[in-house]
A = this chain, B = another copy of it.
Amino acid sequence: MPSGIGLVKTRRAVVFDGDRPLKLGSGAEVNRVEVAYETYGELNEERSNAVFICHALSGDAHAAGIHEGDDPDRPGWWDNIIGPGRPLDTDRLFVICANVLGGCSGTTGPSSTDPDTGRPYGLRFPLVQVRDLVTVHRALLAELGINRLLAAVGGSLGGMQVLQWVIDHPGEIDGALVIAASGRLSAQNIAFSAVAREAIMRDPDFNDGDWYDTGKRPDSGLGLARMIGHITYLSEQSMREKFGRRIQDAEVPRFGFDVDFQVESYLHYQGQSFVERFDANSYLYLGRVMDYFDPFRDPARVQQQIEAGDTSFLVLSFDSDWRFSTAHSKEIAAELRLAGAPVTFREIASTHGHDSFLFAIPEYHETVTGFIDRLASERGIGRESG
């Protein structure tokens, strides 16, 4: 499916600086925060058609369209859902996606230069939480002159940001679309996160996060962390269908310790290509962001905040997702309902596991379209207007 949007550019905005540092929930401060973001479609005069996309752990601001010089067959990571006539229809919506705080694709994070020292932060960057990611997104929206969103949409860590946003800042989001997310990581989720973190921190080139000037990078550990992650992103069934027990580039096994099975080759490739584009410290920070996420910890406060707002929720899960299974989404829906929120929950059939939220599954996209259509018509945003 070719991109419906065509050429796009990543822009940057400095949203905290100088006398106005970013104050984190922990009390720590970040002096200067730059945000990388993209927008698709046009903001209408009433500024009522803005949809914010929150991305997942390894995502970035480039959600749709094509960057100049890039392969036209490799558009932004969520191009299939954003564009003219697509569920997030850019003929009538103004769609924004920004790289998260702590990331490594243009927004300030541990690989950014600390203005106080002139050197990359490394682990001197303060630990951030989901609420801080939201703080930065809101600052960007303020820059863009947007104070209310038609919708906030996100899968996985993206959905977690959407949840936190609604709970912390009532009255800013008409519709919250929380996809393949978790309201609280399970012990098994945290265990996977822990071994990925260990893989990075045990790499001798990690150098306590301070490798930037050493000429070495903890690519080995980061690649291994990504391999572990990938096992949890696919379902057992999709792995079986994709690879089975097939041998890579051969009919019979080679019997040795090198890569032999296709699934091994796939994981290697995923690990290798990831280290070209991702920072190991960002992986640690954003992994921890998820581990510590716990927005329903204080149900009385959640109820108060939900009542103060008027957000309606669509919570979606995929039946083959075992990273954040349907049980996680059902728990989110239950806690939101307990707090008095209007919630539609839907489990979508898909074999793609956690990664399903990235696929153009008809039932899934139709459900999103229906939700967005309803929000848009409530605001008088027609299919034709924009």
Contacts and interface: CB of A to CB of B under 8 A. Distances in A.
Interface of A: 26, 123, 127, 184-188, 190-192, 194-195, 197-199, 201-204, 220-221, 224, 227-228, 230-231, 234, 236, 239-240, 242-245, 253, 255-257, 259-264, 267, 284, 288, 291-292, 294
A236 B185 CA distance: 12
Given A123-B257, A127-B256, A292-B253, A245 B190 contact: yes
Contacts of A234: 188
Within the oligomer, what is the number of copies of this chain?
2
Contacts of A264: 190-191, 194
Given A253-B292, A288-B257, A199 B224 contact: yes
Given A220-B202, A227-B195, A267-B194, A239 B292 contact: no
B261 A194 contact: yes
Could you say which of A188, A199, A263, A267 has the most chain B C-beta atoms within 10 Å of its C-beta? A188
Given A186-B245, A191-B227, 13 more contacts: A123-B257, A187-B240, A187-B243, A187-B244, A191-B263, A192-B231, A194-B227, A194-B259, A195-B224, A197-B257, A202-B220, A255-B288, A260-B291
A242 B267 CA distance: 31
A93 to B, nearest CB: 37
Contacts of A257: 123, 197, 201, 284, 288
B239 A195 contact: no
Contacts of A201: 257
Contact of A239 (B26, B188, B227, B256): B188
A40 to B, nearest CB: 36
Contacts of A260: 291
21 contacts: A26-B255, A123-B257, A127-B255, A185-B245, A187-B239, A187-B240, A188-B234, A188-B236, A190-B263, A191-B263, A194-B259, A194-B263, A195-B227, A195-B231, A195-B267, A197-B257, A199-B199, A202-B220, A202-B221, A253-B292, A255-B292
Contacts of A236: 186-188
Which residue among A194, A203, A231, A253 has the maximum number of chain B CB atoms within 10 Å of its CB? A194
Contacts of A284: 257
Nearest first, the 6 closest Cβ-Cβ pairs linking A and B are A187-B239, A194-B264, A187-B263, A187-B243, A188-B236, A202-B220
A239 B186 CA distance: 8
Contacts of A185: 245
A255 B292 CA distance: 8
Contacts of A239: 186-188, 191
A237 to B, nearest CB: 9
A260 to B, nearest CB: 8
A245 B187 contact: yes
Nearest to A201: B257
A52 to B, nearest CB: 26
Contact of A231 (B191, B227, B256, B259): B191
Nearest to A199: B224
Contact of A228 (B195, B204, B291): B195
A36 to B, nearest CB: 25
Given A195-B231, A245-B184, A261 B224 contact: no
A220 to B, nearest CB: 5
Nearest to A244: B187
Given A127-B255, A191-B231, A204-B204, A198 B224 contact: yes
